[in-house]
Chain A
Amino acid sequence: MAKRIDVSGLTAYYGSHKAIDDISMTVEPRSVTAFIGPSGCGKSTFLRTLNRMHEVTTGGRVEGKVLLDDEDLYGQGVDPVAVRRTIGMVFQRPNPFPTMSIFDNVAAGLKLNGSYKKSELGDVVEKSLKGANLWNEVKDRLNKPGSGLSGGQQQRLCIARAIAVEPQVLLMDEPCSALDPISTLAIEDLIGELKERFTIVIVTHNMQQAARVSDRTAFFNLSAVGQPGRLIEIDDTERIFSNPSVQATEDYISGRFG
């Protein structure tokens, strides 16, 4: 199920503005990799290049290679739609489809792609909602609109929607920044369970969260405002938080930065 991601020499632009510069790293399968760093350093942009969502933005353009088990996502003839089916994404703000019920929201990926059997749909929805630890809370109101749930429930609904299409990799862009501590805990527990099946990459501003949930941590920084963001270092989370090899990382983590 889970696949490894190898990034080499990746540079991303917004129009003529270079947002991230020459990033190379490896994301291990069945593990959680966290991206930390100050705002505007390109964490989210880099995350979006991993499933070709970056080019959806006007003027978005990418150079370099992203290998998913030796297959280049930016190779010739690669269909971005197929890439996004393989690499799912959860966004910062919960964004369930307002016109759809809870059931339809989870089934959206399958229904909208048109490749499903009606008899299987119920099972997939149940499995995904259970996978997102939401089943017990919503099983009696599957046909109610998804926007009626609380923020934390909506975010778990979005995670259920993302895992319903059975991706290989799950990208999460600050999935807890709009949630309270209890909902955050629920999502963090969920990430711990999901990494048994998926490769997970998570962007977070919360360093305790990175330390709690991730196996490896990457620190991004930018040398000055307006300069492109760079990868400073990536290492085992324990090492990054106890004994990082770069001074800037230690400054950022201990709060002496900026």
Chain B
Amino acid sequence: MSHAVTEKRPSSLKGGSLPRWSAWAVALAATGAGLGISAAAGLDSSIQWALIAALLFVLVNYVLAVRVEGRRQAKDRLATSLVWVAFLLAVIPLASLIWETVSRGLKVFDVYFLTHSMGVVSDTEPGGGIYHAIIGTLEQVALATLIAVPIGVLTAVYLVEYGRGRLAKTVTFFVDVMTGIPSIVAGLFILSIMLILDLQPFGFAGSLALAILMMPVVVRSTEEMLKLVPNELREASLALGVPKWRTIMKVVLPTSIGGITTGVMLAVARIMGETAPVLLLVWGADYINNNPFEGAQASLPLYIYEQYANSAGSPAAYNRAWAAALALIAIVMILNLAARGIARWKAPKTGR
């Protein structure tokens, strides 16, 4: 590409420029070179050739741009190629995870699997399903959400709209501390209460532990969303003679409801995959238990763990574990899509 180099003309606003396809060409060449080098050196790990290719891609792009376009544009290209490499590095694990789960999970994933429990099937035999685990997960998470969302949103409202001075700082500090609580500790906390009261494992105990994990996430995200509401809207409402609590209910919360919903859904997704508290407090079960307030219940993450751990390497159990993982991802994704729909529907409108 040396023909593209032009004489420096200080009076002109035009400089040399690489053609638009150059980045793609470099990417292809870098991939080829990475594969070639690995083959020649006898490296058989795909991580190694991918890293070599990524490095080459960034370097070659930079050097080319320095030679053709000049230093400033080269820095721009360096940043752009780094962003692309980072994007790929982030996407590859995600894509491979989804691919693995879907390809392995689909083997036993059907209507029968979704509508039957493990009540009459031992862990090593084929057959059975996850109906009991889906019921357990949905009930436990729904109850946890019912507890955590009102408390979390109200705490955030206090912190943003009312909180002044020492109490607000203390609350913020402890919310931050709560964010760092490992799930097993939350489980042990509820377990200690259960032991004091001499209770047997039941679904709602798991919900309580999950609510503890969910609350700080809800507080934090809601707080950020409430801070985004322009003060002018609050003042406009107050100047109309609307009391503060009504201003919050009718102006501040509706304006930020989209963001709050998204935050709540992220928190739901986070607790839906929790295994440790469920293991301690709900115990897991093979049969269908629709009552979260009495008796052991199953849950999806716990089911996955049990199928893997208790089956002595039976392929039928491994297939069930993958299919359950697929179901869990699907549920989280459906909930997220629903939340996005709600957020878009409720967001401030801009049309004419």
Contacts and interface: CB of A to CB of B under 8 A. Distances in A.
Contact of B246 (A99, A112, A144): A112
A87 to B, nearest CB: 9
Interface stretch (B52-60, B141-149, B231-239): B231-239
A53 B350 CA distance: 29
Q: Give the bracket for the number of chain A residues in contact with chain B.
A: 20 to 34
A81 B351 contact: no
Contact of A158 (B236, B246, B346, B351): B236
Given A81-B242, A113-B241, A145 B349 contact: yes
B232 A99 contact: no
B180 interface: no
Interface in A72-114: 81-86, 88-89, 91, 93, 95, 97-99, 108-109, 111-114
A148 B230 contact: no
A138 B88 CA distance: 50
Nearest to B254: A99
Contacts of B19: none
A112 B351 contact: no
A88 B247 CA distance: 16
A218 B318 CA distance: 83
Contacts of A112: 237, 240, 242, 246-247, 250-251
Contacts of A84: 238-241
B352 interface: yes
B164 interface: yes
B164 A95 contact: no
Contacts of B254: 99
A144 B243 CA distance: 26
A165 interface: yes
Nearest to B350: A147
A97 B249 CA distance: 13
Nearest to A96: B236
A99 B348 contact: yes
A91 B352 contact: no
B117 interface: no
Contacts of B247: 112
B61 to A, nearest CB: 43
Contacts of A162: 239-240
A88 B351 contact: no
B351 A144 contact: yes
A4 B224 CA distance: 43
A161 interface: yes
Interface in B44-91: none
B207 interface: no
B352 A144 contact: yes
A148 B142 CA distance: 38
A247 interface: no
Interface in B294-347: 346
Contacts of A93: 232
A194 to B, nearest CB: 16
Interface in B227-269: 230, 232-243, 246-247, 250-251, 254-255
B232 A98 contact: no
Nearest to A85: B241
A108 B236 CA distance: 10
B351 A145 contact: yes
A223 interface: no
Nearest to B234: A56
A28 to B, nearest CB: 22
A51 B352 CA distance: 33
Most chain B CB within a 10 A radius of its CB, from A51, A83, A99? A99
A58 interface: yes
Contacts of B241: 81-86, 88, 109, 113, 165
Contact of A95 (B230, B250, B346, B352): B230
Contact of A91 (B232, B250, B255, B348): B232
B243 A81 contact: yes
Given A84-B238, A98-B255, A145 B350 contact: yes
Nearest to A141: B352
Interface string A134-172: 000000000011011100000000100110010000000
Closest 4 CB pairs of A and B: A85-B241, A98-B348, A148-B352, A89-B239
17 contacts: A51-B239, A53-B235, A53-B239, A56-B234, A84-B241, A91-B236, A95-B230, A97-B255, A98-B255, A109-B240, A112-B246, A144-B351, A144-B352, A145-B351, A147-B348, A161-B236, A161-B240
